[in-house]
Amino acid sequence: MSEALLASEASGTGPAQHAPALLAASGARRFWRRLRTQRAALVAGGVVALLVLVALAAPLLTALEGQDPTTYHPSLVDSARGGVPIGPLGGISGEHWLGVEPQTGRDLFARLVHGARVSLGVALAATVVQVAIGVLVGVAAGLGNRWLDQVLSRITDIIIAMPLMIMALALLAVVPDDFPRPVLVALVIGFVAWGGIAKIARAQTLTLKQLDHVAAARLSGWGTWRVARRELLPGLAAPVLTYAALMVPNNIAIEAALSFLGVGVRPPTPSWGEMLTSANVWYAAAPQYLLLPAAALFVTVLALTVLGDGVRTALDPRAASRLRVGTGRRREKRAAKASPAGGEAATATRTGDGSGSPREDDAVRETGTGDGSGSPREDDAVREIRTDDGPREPRELRKPGKGDAE
Amino acid sequence: MTGFTGFALRRALGALVTLLAISAIIYVIFYATPGNVAQITCGPRCSPAQVHQVAEQLRLDDPLFLRYWHFLQGIVVGQDYSTGTSVEHCSAPCLGLSYRSDQQVTQLILSKLPVSLSLVAGAMVLWLLLGVGTGVLSAWRRGRFTERALTGITLAGMATPVFVIGLVLMIVVCGQWELLPFPQYVAFSEDPEQWAWNLLLPWLTLALGEAAFFARMTRAAVLETLAEDHIRTFRAYGVGERAIVARHALRGALAPVIALNANDFGAAVGGAVLTETLFGLPGIGQELVHAVDVVDLPVVVGMVLVIGFFVVLANAVADVLYAVADRRVVLS
């Protein structure tokens, strides 16, 4: 998704071409270069890619195992002992790779990989809904007249003030049961948590409105819609993407929490949160029944968070200077190790004078500063795109709401 | 000082408007849903006669805004409900009647509130101490092993859902080590010592994830303050690094952290719901989950409103505190 949006930034035509900030013919490439310098983000990206692959290939994987997530196997649990799986380690065997669920005997591996589908699918869909509503409301508030701006901003504030989990819980109560549950959960999460994106989109729109290329587009008689789509959206990509990337793990946690409470995705549809509902009863007899979904959740949320942080650093030119505080010595040491011309290059990195010879650029990349300070031109270009959100302003400091999930 | 009082008053008014808007949204969402509202409100097992009675009590023939007005009236001055044979008076902050338990929603919430407040207040003390402490420590030891270790730990803490932390704590501390009994709520007025012992694990559960988040934010805020000019001046005067971080940089970082704590309060309430459900604490959260489960609409609406009230209140208080900490806010 990120590449596509950034690519749309690159292919901007019309008045946008006159703005050097948005020319960014190499937007996606630069983003990738800045992301690549962060080793943690790369590892996290690999994990996320693997998870997506598992989720997509879930039917294939379970077919390979020869099981499916909903078939009961009463013969595999000991009903005399309350449904404890028969066999060592919770019933692990060649047929059931990770054992079976207590009581029902459903295959754990199948439920786990199908759970990845639900988890990632719901979280992504919710994020798309959040971005769509948030950008729409934010841009409308930023472009509209004072009256519209006031109304929309008030509504946004109210949405932010409402406790997300509570609203989601309550909303799930009124929708009829025959509505497809995963879709419903995605919609509910999307509809109660777009406030942050709307705020960022509005702030960014107000900034972009001042720029010459937007003014030029408006003066040349373009309609509001066209201005928004062609001139504003490319400039919105970076901050909105940053926020959205951090929303995904948050949405995963919310879905898991709702399902854990029994009001989200309902059985027999497998979901990690739902699997944990009764896990604490069985931990002694079948520890993996607790550990597997818990570990899956942990790894997924962690990988997505680290990746989101990486995306932010890659898109935020100021992150560079903030990250550099007091870490000079370590980087110097690593730079010395990484490149034969270590001493010289590392000095350039630390002082950030950006004299930008190709060799120094390489050294910077290898030392993993991820700030791309090697080229001042590039920094300026990015800075012009992204000049929103004063970090000193308290409300902007608000996290996407990891805690909202809990 | 007038500027400040005016600011506080404006903020209070804003909070009131927000609360009104929230109540309106919630009311419309729940009582303007397609389908038979009386049937949904009353529940699937209600007889037609009961449904008819509920429809009458909810005044379903009236237009929506009139019903909402009536609902607000109930909150301010109270309301009378006829329960077929007798008339029940529901006094001042009346949030309606539960059709599942035949209880007044206000009474129900009041009986559950102490548990939830004990949980959230205790956990908040814990996460502020832990979070700010860790954040300052890792800002002070920046670039060293301590910082990297703390960064890893806080990242892991943020990535673990509350209920996973709770499950693991419960299993390890209560089950394996048998250090603590499985938590059972004891009222503070009954036995303060038992109250604290039983809440220790829920507090930790709720606080750990929040503390991790605050540690990150505190660290970022302290580092940002460290880059400011007045800190450079302190350095030039020869003030030691520890004093600079602990005294001067922390002061600059504290205002955003205060603001953040309030903004985050709503999230913490969500965590409290999970913690209560997990440990079986009879608080608002557990009751809300139950009400959602059995589709007890008056209870759901009332609870969401009360929780919204606390969140809006926390936000307003924090904004005023923020202004006290940083007077530049009032001017803008």
Q: Is residue B105 part of a domain?
A: no
Of A26-30, A131-135, B159-163, minimum mean pLDDT range: A26-30
User: What is the pLDDT, as a whole number, of residue A129?
Assistant: 95
Domain boundary pick from B35, B58, B90:
B90
Q: Which residues of B touch A167 (CB under 8 A)?
A: 304
Domain of B174: which CATH number?
A: 1.10.3720.10
Query: HEC string of A252-305?
Result: HHHHHHHHHCCCCCCCCCCCHHHHHCCHHHHCCCCHHHHHHHHHHHHHHHHHHH
Contact A12, A230 (CB under 8 A): yes
* Interchain proximity B264–A399, CB inside 8 Å: yes
Residue A205 token pair: 């729109």
User: What is the pLDDT, as a whole number, of residue A122?
Assistant: 93
Q: Does residue B55 sit in the same domain as residue B189?
A: no
Cα B283 to chain centroid, rounded: 12
Average pLDDT of chain B is: 82
Q: Which residues of A touch B205 (CB under 8 A)?
A: none
Question: Is the pLDDT confidence value at A325 over 70?
Answer: no
Query: HEC string of chain B?
Result: CHHHHHHHHHHHHHHHHHHHHHHHHHHHHHHCCCCCHHHHHHCCCCCHHHHHHHHHHCCCCCCHHHHHHHHHHHHHHCEEEECCCCEEEECCCCCCECCCCCCEHHHHHHHHHHHHHHHHHHHHHHHHHHHHHHHHHHHHCCCCHHHHHHHHHHHHHHHCCHHHHHHHHHHHHHHHCCCCCCCCCCCCCCCHHHHHHHHHHHHHHHHHHHHHHHHHHHHHHHHHHHCCHHHHHHHHCCCCHHHHHHHHHHHHHHHHHHHHHHHCHHHHHHHHHHHHHHHCCCCHHHHHHHHHHCCCHHHHHHHHHHHHHHHHHHHHHHHHHHHHHCCHHHHC
Question: Is the pLDDT confidence value at A50 over 80?
Answer: yes
CA distance B101 to chain A (A): 17
Which is higher by pLDDT, A188 or A278? A188
Question: Is the pLDDT confidence value at A388 over 50?
Answer: no
Cα B21 to chain centroid, rounded: 19
Average pLDDT of chain A is: 71
Orientation angle between helical segments A181-192 and A108-143, nearest 10 degrees:
40
Handedness of CA A73, A74, A78, A83 (dihedral sign): positive
Averaged pLDDT, A375-389: 38
User: What is the pLDDT, as a whole number, of residue B93?
Assistant: 79
Q: Does residue B83 sit in the same domain as residue B220?
A: no
Q: Does residue B141 sit in the same domain as residue B17?
A: no
Place A146 in a pLDDT band, splitting at 50, 70 and 90.
confident
A283 in contact with B, Cβ within 8 Å: yes
Q: Is residue B232 part of a domain?
A: yes
- Distance (Å, whole) CA B19 – CA A144: 26
- Distance (Å, whole) CA A16 – CA A23: 7
Number of independent structural domains in chain B: 2
Place B98 in a pLDDT band, splitting at 50, 70 and 90.
confident
Q: Does residue B155 sit in the same domain as residue B251?
A: yes
A contact residues 233-262, partner B, Cβ 8 Å cutoff:
249, 253, 256-257, 260-262
Q: Which residues of A touch B26 (CB under 8 A)?
A: 170
User: What is the pLDDT, as a whole number, of residue A334?
Assistant: 56
Residues in chain A: 406
Q: Which residues of A touch B266 (CB under 8 A)?
A: 161-164, 166, 404
* pLDDT tens-place string over residues A59-112: 888 887 777 777 777 777 777 776 677 776 666 776 777 777 777 778 888 888
* Interchain proximity A166–B270, CB inside 8 Å: yes
User: What is the pLDDT, as a whole number, of residue A52?
Assistant: 92
Interface test with B, best of A47, A154, A174 (most B CBs within 10 A): A174
Tell me which residue of A310, A287, A272 sits closest to A51, measured CA to CA: A272
Which is higher by pLDDT, A125 or A213? A125
Judged by DSSP in three states, A179 sits in: coil
Question: Is the pLDDT confidence value at B296 over 50?
Answer: yes
* pLDDT tens-place string over residues A360-369: 333 333 333 3
Averaged pLDDT, A196-222: 87
Q: Is A270 left (phi over 0), alpha (psi -120 to 50) or beta?
A: beta
Question: Is the pLDDT confidence value at A152 over 80?
Answer: yes
Tokens 């800045």 correspond to what residue? A34
A308 in contact with B, Cβ within 8 Å: no
User: What is the pLDDT, as a whole number, of residue A371?
Assistant: 37
Contact A289, A101 (CB under 8 A): yes
Alpha-helix runs per DSSP H in A162-268: 164-174, 181-192, 195-209, 212-219, 224-226, 233-260
Averaged pLDDT, A203-217: 86
Question: Is the pLDDT confidence value at A335 over 60?
Answer: no
Question: Is the pLDDT confidence value at A117 over 70?
Answer: yes
Contact B83, B250 (CB under 8 A): no
Q: Is residue B241 part of a domain?
A: yes
Q: Does residue B129 sit in the same domain as residue B86?
A: no
User: What is the pLDDT, as a whole number, of residue A130?
Assistant: 94
User: What is the pLDDT, as a whole number, of residue A121?
Assistant: 92
Domain boundary pick from B29, B55, B90:
B90
User: What is the pLDDT, as a whole number, of residue A73?
Assistant: 76
H helix and E strand count, chain A: 22, 2
Q: Does residue B26 sit in the same domain as residue B124?
A: no
* Interchain proximity B266–A161, CB inside 8 Å: yes
Contact A191, A230 (CB under 8 A): no
H/E element, A84: strand A84-85
Averaged pLDDT, A103-132: 89
Q: Is residue B96 part of a domain?
A: no
Q: Does residue B193 sit in the same domain as residue B310?
A: yes
Q: Is B139 left (phi over 0), alpha (psi -120 to 50) or beta?
A: alpha
Between the ranges A24-38, A392-406, B96-110, where is the mean pLDDT highest? B96-110
Contact B290, A362 (CB under 8 A): no
Contact A84, A78 (CB under 8 A): yes
Between the ranges A306-315, B27-36, B250-259, B318-327, where is the mean pLDDT highest? A306-315
Question: Is the pLDDT confidence value at B34 over 80?
Answer: no
Which amino acid would we find at residue A55?
A
* Interchain proximity B161–A253, CB inside 8 Å: yes
Closest-CA residue of chain B to A392: B256
Contact A386, A378 (CB under 8 A): no
Q: Is residue B95 part of a domain?
A: no
Residue span of the structural domain in which B13 resides: 2-90
Question: Is the pLDDT confidence value at A391 over 50?
Answer: no
A305 in contact with B, Cβ within 8 Å: yes
Q: Which residues of A touch B260 (CB under 8 A)?
A: 394, 397-398
Handedness of CA A211, A216, A217, A223 (dihedral sign): positive
Of the candidates A157, A253, A280, the beta carbon closest to that of B167 is on A280
DSSP string across A373-396? TT-HHHHHHHHHH-----TTSHHH
Q: Does residue B283 sit in the same domain as residue B191?
A: yes
* Residue A268 preceded by cis peptide, ω within 30: yes
Which amino acid would we find at residue B189?
S
Of A24-28, A222-226, B157-161, minimum mean pLDDT range: A24-28
Closest-CA residue of chain A to B205: A406
Residues in chain B: 332
* Interchain proximity A169–B259, CB inside 8 Å: no
Tell me which residue of B225, B273, B263, B330 sits closest to B112, measured CA to CA: B273
* pLDDT tens-place string over residues B195-254: 888 888 999 999 998 899 889 888 888 888 888 888 889 889 988 888 888 888 888 788
Q: Does residue B78 sit in the same domain as residue B129?
A: no
Q: Is residue B101 part of a domain?
A: no
Q: Does residue B190 sit in the same domain as residue B327?
A: yes
H/E element, A18: none
Averaged pLDDT, B19-41: 76
User: What is the pLDDT, as a whole number, of residue A404?
Assistant: 43
Q: Is residue B104 part of a domain?
A: no
Q: Does residue B160 sit in the same domain as residue B117?
A: yes
Closest-CA residue of chain B to A305: B159
Q: Could you give phi then psi for residue B314, rounded to 5 degrees?
A: -60, -40
Interface test with A, best of B163, B178, B245 (most A CBs within 10 A): B163
* Interchain proximity A257–B40, CB inside 8 Å: no
Averaged pLDDT, A114-122: 91
What percent of chain A lies above the pLDDT cut of 70? 69
Which is higher by pLDDT, B125 or B193? B125
* Interchain proximity A261–B162, CB inside 8 Å: no
Residue A248 token pair: 């995904």
Which amino acid would we find at residue A84?
V
* Interchain proximity B271–A403, CB inside 8 Å: yes
User: What is the pLDDT, as a whole number, of residue A319?
Assistant: 56
- Distance (Å, whole) CA B153 – CA B138: 11
Domain boundary pick from B57, B90, B123:
B90
Q: Is residue B107 part of a domain?
A: no
Q: Does residue B163 sit in the same domain as residue B84?
A: no
* Interchain proximity B33–A263, CB inside 8 Å: no
CA distance A158 to chain B (A): 6
